[in-house]
Amino acid sequence: MNTILSTRQMLRDAQKYKYAVPAFNIHNMETMQVVADVAKTMRSPLIIAVTPSTLDYARTEYIVAMAAAAAADMDTPVAIHLDHFEDSDKIKQAIQAGFRSCMIDASKELFEKNIEMVKEVVAYAHRYDVTVEAELGKLVGVEDDLVVAEKEAAYTNPADAMRFVEATDIDSLAVAIGTAHGLYKGKPKLDFDRLREIREKVEIPLVLHGASDVPDELVEKAISLGICKVNIATDLKIPFSNALKQFFAENPTASDPRKYMTPGKEAMRKIVEHKILVCKSQNRY
């Protein structure tokens, strides 16, 4: 029987064999069921990601229990991951509840303050064999309650990335190379030369945030240059909600959640299948 794992080995495997593990942001039982069922069928490792407001909405103990049930039903690796958490106390509470992977996001802080905040979380998390992701640079856009204006966005400096990793002992690094949270106003332009240089200076797995709405070929190129984890959120929410809206437009008197949630799950399933293929994580276990 499989159990909830950290992301350590699955990201190392992805790095070694040059694919990426998809991290799907979920919000409730239905969305967790979809990503787990598809990952099981396609034999892909899976990272189930939750933001702070998702944890508030669905409650920590419910998320952990549902993830444990999903893991027990699978023979491929499953992790639940805290995504874009800025409060170290909330991270510690979630670790005690059963999370074994977390992201401390202090990217809006000055460099040294970022290091200080990340080191505190790393010291605590590693005592429980929990992996830690941090971010250097800022992605424009909105992720949960985190908002970064376009003028505040900053790309990851490769030399700083090396110093940051050495100083913090993190397990993975989210890099800013031109992606954004949410939808894009035009075609994104990713700085692959910057990514290549970061990869040369940093040995740990690299993470791409803001991958929703990015053309497949750009994500695939980023993976070929060292990205080992790809975060996906907006691309899941839109088809799910659109399918629900269409169902209610066609069935205005409907009231059974089992009926109106099903089209949303099916629409989301197709996207999850596609993203796994883009990450090339299928049939890895």
Question: Annotated binding residue at 234?
Answer: yes
Q: Select which of 13, 56, 83, 235 is catalytic.
A: 83
Asked whether residue 283 is marked as a ligand-binding residue, the answer is no
**β pairing state of 146-148 and 140-143:** antiparallel
CA 128 to chain CA centroid, nearest Å = 21
Is 84 annotated as a binding-site member? yes
114 is in an annotated binding site: no
Query: Does the annotation flag 232 for ligand binding?
Result: yes
The verdict on whether residue 170 carries a ligand-binding annotation is no
Task: Confirm whether residue 274 is marked as ligand binding.
Answer: no
Does the annotation count 37 as an active-site position?
A: no
Phi first, then psi: what are they for 235, rounded to 5°?
-65, -20
Query: Which residue's entry shows tokens 């376009």?
Result: 150
Rg of the chain over Cα atoms, rounded to whole angstroms, equals 18
204 annotated among ligand-binding-site residues: no
Query: How does DSSP assign the chain, residue by residue?
Result: ---B--SHHHHHHHHHHT--EEEEE--SHHHHHHHHHHHHHHT--EEEEE-HHHHHHH-HHHHHHHHHHHHHT-SS-EEEEEEEE--HHHHHHHHHHT--EEEE--TTS-HHHHHHHHHHHHHHHGGGT-EEEEEESB-EEEETTEEE-GGG-BPPPHHHHHHHHHHH--SEEEE-SS-EES--SS-----HHHHHHHHHH--S-EEE---TTS-HHHHHHHHHTTEEEEEE-HHHHHHHHHHHHHHHHH-TT---HHHHHHHHHHHHHHHHHHHHHHHT-TT--
Determine if residue 81 is labeled as part of a ligand binding site: no
Which residues, in sequence order, are bridge partners of residue 135? Answer: 174
174 is in an annotated binding site: no
281 marked ligand binding residue: no
Binding site residue list for dihydroxyacetone phosphate: 182, 210-212, 231-234
Binding site residue list: 84, 105, 135, 181-182, 209-212, 231-234
Binding site residue list for Zn(2+): 84, 105, 135, 181, 209
Residues marked active site are found at: 83
